Structure 1
């Protein structure tokens, strides 16, 4: 049975928000960011708050935590935690409640953890601030909660700094910090979005296990409907600051009433792979026995070596998409960076139109750079915040001899192709949403008329409807221009929808490679099967909603 079927009618109410309205007073147009929302969470219940970016999910959580930015104000309504009204409390009173009664897990633990403190000390610091326990007892409890969140080699990790841990381990530390004082309410804001499917599955199982052990109420914020199907008891769907639909998870997913809910479900990629398309006869990219080895040097002693890529071999034809999938640390991004020559391979050949670019000098690479373009995961970090969009788009062509007039004309044309108005060329990156910035990053790459486009987790940070739009855009550009795409992802649903072939990597090695329909529908390797089994909500068929996909349902410019 996929869905939870627990009854909470007799469970005590932990959180109750009524008629909650949050406004941004100094703004043009409608100042209301949240509009009279009602949310109830009971003991041991998992409530999922879902919706697109900008729907008000995170603002709701920050209002509950008393952490709203100064510009936002609670205009009306109440928030009760176990019957106590939180809104009249002072900041000092709210600080006493945080961690002790209500705790929060954020999306990116690296920004939430102190980089210069050992993680064990950070867990102990929570107890030092909120309890009078002696140091020995704080250490004992910290080690115990680290065991409960299933961290390996607890004494070593206790003494480690955040940068020495994997993403999944850092998220477990955040969970340990949140639960060490056994709060009655845990708020989890997109805690698994950046994690690969197996780590995500472990974190979701861990939250459920700890919830059952401690009776904690959980408010889980996500845009991933697969996660919702997996963990939710009750779902609230938000759009533009309003709750458009709510109900038990099974009822809401089987028979959604709101058109917006149906659109969200329709945007979820299916795990059923698309039919492979026939590529052109000529191979545009051939990678032969690519190796990347780190370490082995050292001034005083030889350091251990790490094989980030081991004999990776594949061929990519024009107009085809190769997906490279695997967990974090599997070597996916290493291969992508070697192909782009952002890092130098240790050995092997990278043939771009029969030219081996693996060993070319920086000067020798320059004529080939325009044939090989990349789209990264976070366009905010890859677009210059001080440049207008026009400046970012025309930089490459100008470097290769295109006149400014022609480059600007092509930029205007491509902005329309990616679904943005031409007057957006005069704006700056911060004036766009995440999905719009990713469209701009794609337009910038296509400006160079590349033969090969490398997309490194290009849609993993986007909500499902925007993700669907970007995938459709890549597919359209590929059909129009014949671009070959190397698509790096940890999301097998995305791989199934866009890839003709799939290459599965584990610990730097290729463990399976073949047509997407074969690899994803009938995997031969145990590791591939484990990845597919870990996909959240995999037994729930979102495909029923696919025919409701509306290409016109796009972000406002």
Structure 2
């Protein structure tokens, strides 16, 4: 960590940002902080606290027709970004400062190869010749430990895994050795092992290049692993700042304490007594194989290939119980869920809902009753809610398709909005008028509109900050108990699994490697892969409730 005597790479002083319009509202209310060479500063806080707006000001990427900096300075190596010309800040981006975004698929151009997009970085900021640019790109890919850099160079974004795409983004950001790296939630959507690799990579490259890092996250475990100092933000203000261990062990503000108390513990909760309910969902020897290759390709002599995404998976789920499925990306978790929902057709095995095998049912008319009994809550409510429909129309769409009276359906929708903690008047609003946590509550209400017996939650809280995540999880638990629902919870967050799951099933490469009570699987794992997942969990050496490092843990 840099000393205070070192000139800061980024110095923010009394920064204020407001919306444009006749009645502007303040987004940032006079924040100040410094980041020195080789130092990592974490900005933490709930959604809407101003973390990402701060990073956009530093990169001069504010949407100028919506927001504007009204006061203060943002100096990069002494040069004020706010008063600099657009041409100057464009030259600084990439060369002196760079950014890693949360979702690489939205930052990478899907129709251009990775190599062409990497080439653009060197073409815009250097005088390298094409051959030199290709060699530099290959070297950058090697530096971030990407396998087969030549293949990566010629690949399209969709041909890479999530972890590989994030490594590409890091390679692009650090290609010209910028003095400042801004990372905005770069590991939120990644599983724990990939997340650990990305965090280690950022730290490694930071040490090599003495880069200052502004790291934005809502994951307090990540803060423990990567931060030197922390700034806690709330409603556009920095309410607390200091060295990471000081803030986590001796928080001065109630808001900081509340954030830390919201972090789920890795220690599994006390096991719940068996509900004694009937088995409502039973999966027997489920198989799913994906085949790749077109008829045209076969005619041209190209070989088709297949991937066994799910291999001989079996489990049962009783009413009132929660089964968690954990594992890395590509382990088959979501494929199991999609087969269960019949969004994918299983290659083999049985899917029994209340004793009825739905694995081979065909057609909407045959599947509709089964789909009504099993409903899904997706990871991103932005994608699952139609932005052009009012909330009321989204909620009643399913019941209307099954023949329910519109007036009755709307009445139930209003009642369910109250159940999930939102006013019934919200039915007249559109999805964009709600926060992320509120939209996820609406997604839960929409699933409940079908009066299901099983809820499948696929990474339903992974994109939420810790306090909102805790609220949504508490809501799910309350609804489960009240309605005696069975819940299949798919997650890569072992902390969440430890606190809400009765049983845990660990998947690797399509197969179940370990399954049993959560306290046993997560507390005393038998399989090497399960132990590797637990050891990769961010902040596993820190007890957030007690505010101290766990005895025997190393820094």
If the length of structure 1 is used for normalisation, what is the TM-score?
A: 0.95
Asked whether 1:168 is paired with 2:169, we answer no
Q: For residues 339-358 of structure 1, what are the structure 2 equivalents within 5 Å?
A: 339-358=340-359
Instruction: Give the secondary-structure state (helix, strand or coil) at the position aligned to 1:328.
Output: coil
User: How far does the alpha carbon of each residue in 1:63-101 deviate from its partner, in whole angstroms, 9 at most, with x for none?
Assistant: 011110111111010111111122211100111100000
Choose which of 404, 420, 423 in structure 2 pairs with 1:421.
Answer: 423
Asked whether 1:13 is paired with 2:14, we answer no
Q: For residues 139-538 of structure 1, what are the structure 2 equivalents within 5 Å?
A: 139-277=134-272, 278-295=274-291, 298-299=294-295, 300=298, 301-362=302-363, 363-538=365-540
Counterpart in the other structure of 2:82: 87
**Mean Cα displacement is larger for which, 445-454 or 396-405?**
396-405
2:98–2:180 CA contact under 8 A, matched in 1: yes
Structure 2: state its 5+ residue gaps: 548-555
Counterpart in the other structure of 2:39: 45
Distance verdict in 2 for CA 1:310–1:24, change over 3 Å? same
Structure-2 separation of matches of 1:101 and 1:400? 58
State the Cα distance separating 1:399 from its structure 2 match: 2.6
State the Cα distance separating 1:137 from its structure 2 match: 1.9
Structure-1 separation of matches of 2:277 and 2:176? 62
Asked whether 1:25 is paired with 2:20, we answer yes
1:286–1:316 CA contact under 8 A, matched in 2: yes
Counterpart in the other structure of 2:551: none
Structure-1 separation of matches of 2:477 and 2:12? 43
Choose which of 85, 95, 98 in structure 2 pairs with 1:100.
Answer: 95
Structure-1 separation of matches of 2:435 and 2:523? 35
Instruction: Give the secondary-structure state (helix, strand or coil) at the position aligned to 1:416.
Output: helix
Counterpart in the other structure of 1:35: 29
User: How far does the alpha carbon of each residue in 1:31-69 deviate from its partner, in whole angstroms, 9 at most, with x for none?
Assistant: 111011001000000000111111000000000111101
State the Cα distance separating 1:405 from its structure 2 match: 2.5
State the Cα distance separating 1:397 from its structure 2 match: 2.1
Asked whether 1:114 is paired with 2:116, we answer no
Instruction: Give the secondary-structure state (helix, strand or coil) at the position aligned to 2:460.
Output: coil
Distance verdict in 2 for CA 1:297–1:112, change over 3 Å? closer
Instruction: Give the secondary-structure state (helix, strand or coil) at the position aligned to 1:244.
Output: strand
Query: Which 4+ runs in 1 deviate beyond 3 A?
Result: 296-299
State the Cα distance separating 1:385 from its structure 2 match: 1.5
Structure-2 separation of matches of 1:463 and 1:298? 43
1:276–1:501 CA contact under 8 A, matched in 2: no
State the Cα distance separating 1:297 from its structure 2 match: 6.0
Counterpart in the other structure of 1:549: none
State the Cα distance separating 1:164 from its structure 2 match: 0.7
Counterpart in the other structure of 2:54: 60
State the Cα distance separating 1:414 from its structure 2 match: 1.1
State the Cα distance separating 1:390 from its structure 2 match: 1.1
Instruction: Give the secondary-structure state (helix, strand or coil) at the position aligned to 2:95.
Output: coil
Structure-2 separation of matches of 1:250 and 1:43? 20
2:2–2:39 CA contact under 8 A, matched in 1: no
State the Cα distance separating 1:7 from its structure 2 match: 5.0
1:321–1:486 CA contact under 8 A, matched in 2: yes
Structure 1: state its 5+ residue gaps: 1-5, 546-557
Aligned residues: 540
Structure-2 separation of matches of 1:513 and 1:185? 44
Instruction: Give the secondary-structure state (helix, strand or coil) at the position aligned to 1:478.
Output: helix
2:2–2:36 CA contact under 8 A, matched in 1: no
Instruction: Give the secondary-structure state (helix, strand or coil) at the position aligned to 2:9.
Output: strand
Counterpart in the other structure of 1:552: none
Choose which of 63, 73, 76 in structure 2 pairs with 1:78.
Answer: 73
Structure-2 separation of matches of 1:139 and 1:181? 14
User: How far does the alpha carbon of each residue in 1:224-276 deviate from its partner, in whole angstroms, 9 at most, with x for none?
Assistant: 11000110001001111100100000100001111111111111111111223
Structure-2 separation of matches of 1:341 and 1:326? 21
User: How far does the alpha carbon of each residue in 1:265-323 deviate from its partner, in whole angstroms, 9 at most, with x for none?
Assistant: 11111111122321334100000000001117653244222110000000000000110
Distance verdict in 2 for CA 1:287–1:27, change over 3 Å? farther
Over the residues paired in the alignment, what is the CA RMSD in angstroms? 1.4
1:286–1:314 CA contact under 8 A, matched in 2: yes
Structure-2 separation of matches of 1:279 and 1:93? 65
Counterpart in the other structure of 1:550: none
Structure-2 separation of matches of 1:121 and 1:8? 40
2:317–2:323 CA contact under 8 A, matched in 1: yes
Structure-2 separation of matches of 1:320 and 1:10? 57
Instruction: Give the secondary-structure state (helix, strand or coil) at the position aligned to 1:305.
Output: strand
Structure-2 separation of matches of 1:127 and 1:108? 22
